Structure 1
């Protein structure tokens, strides 16, 4: 089909424009006449309505006056009082409506003083009734003057009404004629417009058909570009959220904080999926959930690594609704309708730390597998989380190495000094005590010389285990150096400190150590106890007091507890020493 030329289309539009202009001009003239005629009809109808209301108002006012004269009840005057201002307003409106007709305007001018005189007569009769009684008022009403005045008013109103009814008939006929002319004009114009625009549309359609294929190609191209831009925008948003999550994870101090951040950013990265982060237990026998979003965990709280294909294969595992043959065991055991999901192992620094599980939200109909873009994002998120958790664990390991003694597992001297100063400041604000126990292994040098350093290390390890078992959760056990140990007992007074020291001494004395199949014999301790604030308010003073009490215990024969005092040092002897003193 050959497309019409641009010149022919332009000529058609010019002709259409000229025809439309002519039609618009003719239509405007006829419509203007119709509107003017209708306006005159409405004006005449309004005039007739006002005349009727004016006459009714006078009748109501006169009836109210007579009712008052007869009964003397003020309530009858309501119609009179309301009719007077309303009648005046209607006379003004009537004068405005008849201003274009001199004859009618003259009649209205005659009517105004007559109505005013009528209201004056009514008012005079009412005043006579009030001042002189009913007989005087009745005499005024019964006279012929009021009737003659009312008859004259009725005559003038009738003349105005008759003239307006004649005008109404003429103007209605003119309005109907103008309406007919308007309808004919519009019908002819519409027919001509349809014919002309039909031809134009035919030419335009011919051109449109020729260009339709090009439009389809352009639309498909634009849609493709729009989809690409939308995907780029989504990818950029995902990268932004992933960057923000990585930044937060890098500033987290603990794994718990990291899991909280993951649960916060999970819905932003995966708004249409249910997500669960599983982490290996310390035993590495099973994984357990650490963070989730998008709804309740749809599967088991914990499961073995062998129950997940991703953990077994060490790579991402994706399952659609129909892929029932390769469903992970931890998903299959849940039962119910299978939803598409992926399992992405979280591996960093050669170690698998856990699993990222993503599942499509339950929906009606067949659910497709998660798109490749979502799978790639899941793998990237799993990698970022794994790196963050690995760094956290590395930092925690380094921190523990910096504050822990590797032989005994207790805190080291550096941690002791930092913690003791902090605890003293805290307890001083709360006005609470703190006890400090300084411990030394008796004859440890001789023990090393006799059994060797490995046996000595075994003694220190076992002693570290005893200290960890016999201290409270709030207590802090430290290796002070060599064979010396220190225990901080927050909120414990001197009596509690002495009792704990005695308990440790007894527990150690009863310990029987064996190394390489050889009995190492009994191990005894010397212990010095000092208390804040009795024996010192500063860290150095408290350590010196406890150390002085420890040396006093050494000098007192070892295997005993000595409590420091500001003035004196009190020795708490062991039962054996008391027996020897008694003998």
Structure 2
């Protein structure tokens, strides 16, 4: 007869102990899950505050951009955009105040940010009202740039302080969350190990409970894994939103299209390294698009240049997504390559009803539920389109402010700025500088007899001759009327006179045709002055060169005369 087990007297105690351990595990699991849920709620609250702060700043920046654009262009759509974005910015700031009510320090910062945003928008509204009542010039005159910049800096400083505090809270909450998860997992694993060891020594009849406990263990681990996966996904989305926000801010500071393209390429490769593609920009003629930037390793190649009709996104004016060959294929994609395992996306870049380009991306098909690549690319496309439109508008305004539209030469404003700058540079380097002042002979009588359109043809002819004979470092300008100026850095008197003679001969020797008839001979008189011999200030140097010009006219015109005797 088999002797009774020596553990029989302890079975009840072991069962009770095992039961108590299991109860403790269950209670700890429930408490830990509730604790983790609460921690996650606070983490989500931090993300919500950061997202709302970014939305508030973005809307305030949009309000300021619309106000500034309206002052510069007086376009009604920008005024409407200002009145739309302003209330939205205040609503976003109010929402930020609301959601930070459970944090006194952040609540105070949010209230401060609301006050500063309100003051900034009220000031912008005053400028818009002045422009509506008194006109664009009055609004520009009333604008106090230092005040607006100081206020915007105050808003940015308050925003950065609030963001830094919330990021600190987020890091602390994540650390607490991870610590609680690790403690819970350790306690559960340790308790289950002891329980299983105790139950193993009990009767075979307890094996069913043993299997049940193992199932509980697997479920607990699965719940923790799912929780960690959700947390990882949340962190990934937050990082993507932050990168898009940073990309938007950097785009607003880009000085030209090349910088915008480089920034787009770097951001795309950082956010979506598994995809590749190209960014196309439309030519001025709008009949073709050319690739200006490429990024990553595309799954299928696309043409470097394409007509708008080759892309379904450009035809329809909306994104065109082809997933595993389940859509219409764009003609600019490489022919002969199967789309069965490829996903392609074309995003039209449009702003204010004008197609500026197209963003194309391709990669392997990913059937995961967490795939948000298309949303990221579309968001990047929207921001890039706005940046391209702003850069082109800025370049157009800059050219209009510096160039004379008839001759293509620089205007008087650019001449005055350049002359002063180049004289200071040559003075520091102890180098000479020459100034040529040109005037078309008998232009008034020619203009009166031949008509203003013929006079414009003469001015354009003189401008072309001057532009063709100056160096790259020279600055040729139309000073006003029929008078031109040329600033020639690092040029002595003899070289300046020789260049002036070449210009005089070129103007007089070429034939001008206008409206099917040949105009009469055109000559110019040129006065030359050099720095520092003839003047040490821009005003004095110009007066000396202008006086030399009038002497040349008095001595018979069609000649070059230097301010100093014996040269000319």
Q: Aligned in 2, Cα 1:390/1:15: closer, same or farther, shift over 3 Å?
A: closer
- Which of 246, 252, 261 is the matching residue for 1:250? 252
> How far apart, in 2, do the equivalents of 1:476 and 1:16 lie?
94
Equivalent residue, structure 2, for 1:483: 482
Q: Residue 514 of structure 1 contacts residue 520 of structure 1 at CA under 8 Å; is this kept in 2?
A: yes
Alignment-derived partner of residue 403 in structure 1: 402
Aligned partner of 2:328 in structure 1 is: 326
| Residue 205 in structure 1 maps to residue 211 in structure 2 | yes
2-structure distance, mates of 1:369, 1:354: 30
Q: Is 1:350–2:349 an aligned residue pair?
A: no
**1:32-63 deviations in Å (ceiling 9; x for gaps):** xxxxxxxxxxxxxxxxxxxxxxxxxxxxxxxx
Question: Mean Cα displacement is larger for which, 308-317 or 434-443?
Answer: 308-317
The structure with the largest alpha-carbon Rg is 1
Give yes or no for contact 2:276–2:362 (8 Å, CA) kept in 1.
yes
CA distance in 1, matches of 2:499, 2:479: 18
Q: TM-score, normalised by structure 1?
A: 0.58
Query: Which residue does the alignment assign to 1:423?
Result: 422
How far the C-alpha of 1:438 sits from its partner, in A, is 0.7
Q: How big is the shift at 1:406?
A: 2.2
- Look up the match of 1:263: 265
> CA-to-partner distance for each residue in 1:372-408, whole Å, 9 max, x for gaps?
7211221111110111111111111111111112222
Partner of 1:411: helix, strand, or coil?
coil
Structure 1: 5+ residue stretches without partners: 1-7, 18-190, 572-583
Corresponding residue SS for 1:418: helix
Shift of 1:262: 2.1
Matched residue SS, 1:522: coil
* TM-score normalised by length of structure 2: 0.60
Compute the displacement of 1:414 (Å): 0.7
Residue aligned with 2:512, SS: strand
Instruction: Map 1:148-547 onto structure 2 (within 5 A).
Output: 196=202, 198-205=204-211, 229-295=231-297, 298-323=301-326, 326-333=328-335, 339-360=342-363, 373-547=372-546
Alpha carbons of structure 1 residues 197 and 421: separation in structure 2 relative to 1, 3 Å: farther
Q: Superposition RMSD on alpha carbons, in Å? A: 3.4
Question: Which secondary structure does the structure 2 equivalent of 1:347 belong to?
Answer: strand
Alignment: residue pair count: 380
Deviation at 1:195, TM superposition (A): 5.2
Q: CA contact under 8 A between 1:439 and 1:527: conserved in structure 2?
A: yes
2:343 and 2:438 mapped to 1: Cα distance?
Answer: 62
Alpha carbons of structure 1 residues 15 and 266: separation in structure 2 relative to 1, 3 Å: closer
Question: Are the structure 2 counterparts of residues 231 and 494 from structure 1 closer, same or farther at C-alpha, using a change threshold of 3 Å?
Answer: same
Change (3 A) 1:15 1:272: closer
Structure 2 residue aligned with 1:559: 558
* 8 Å Cα contact 1:278/1:355 also seen in 2: yes
| 1:389-445 Cα distance to aligned partner (Å, 9 max, x none) | 111111111111111122222111110111111112222333332222111111111
Partners of 1:300 and 1:334 within 8 A in 2:
no
In structure 2, distance between residues paired with 1:391 and 1:238: 24
Query: Per-residue deviation at 1:331?
Result: 1.9
- Other structure's SS at 1:558 match: coil
1:297-319 deviation per Cα after TM superposition (whole angstroms, max 9, x unaligned)? 94443333333222233221222
- Closer, same or farther: CA 272–370 of 1 in aligned 2, 3 Å: farther
1:134-149 superposed matches below 5 A = none
1:15 and 1:453 mapped to 2: Cα distance? 110
Does 2:12 align with 1:13? no
Q: Is the 8 A contact 1:341 1:370 kept in 2?
A: no
Q: For each residue in 1:55-101, what CA deviation from the matched residue of structure 2 results, as whole angstroms up to 9, or x when unmatched?
A: xxxxxxxxxxxxxxxxxxxxxxxxxxxxxxxxxxxxxxxxxxxxxxx
* CA distance in 1 between partners of 2:277 and 2:550 (Å): 61
Deviation digits for residues 304-351 of structure 1 (CA, Å, limit 9, x no counterpart): 33332222332212223434x733233224858874221211111222
**Aligned-pair CA distance for 1:10:** 7.2
SS in 2 for 1:340: strand
Residues 288 and 301 in structure 1, CA contact (< 8 A), matched pair in contact too: yes
Q: Which moved further from structure 2: 313-322 or 522-531?
A: 313-322
* Gap regions ≥5 residues in structure 2: 1-9, 20-196
Distance 1:193 1:439 in 2: 108
**Partners of 1:327 and 1:264 in 2: CA distance:** 27
Helix, strand or coil at the partner of 1:378: helix
Determine the C-alpha separation between the residues in 1 that align with 2:485 and 2:374: 54
Contact 1:16 1:197 in 2 (8 A): no
Shift of 1:226: 5.6
Q: Secondary structure at the match of 2:202?
A: helix
Question: Partner of 1:512: helix, strand, or coil?
Answer: coil
Mapped to 1, the partners of 2:371 and 2:514 lie a distance apart of: 60
SS of equivalent to 1:292: strand
1:162-201 Cα offsets, whole Å, 9 max, x none, are: xxxxxxxxxxxxxxxxxxxxxxxxxxxxx99855154433
Is the CA contact 1:320–1:368 (under 8 Å) kept in the aligned structure 2? no
- CA shift in 2, pair 1:224/1:314, >3 Å: farther
Residue pair 2:410, 2:478 contacting (<8 A) in 1 also: yes
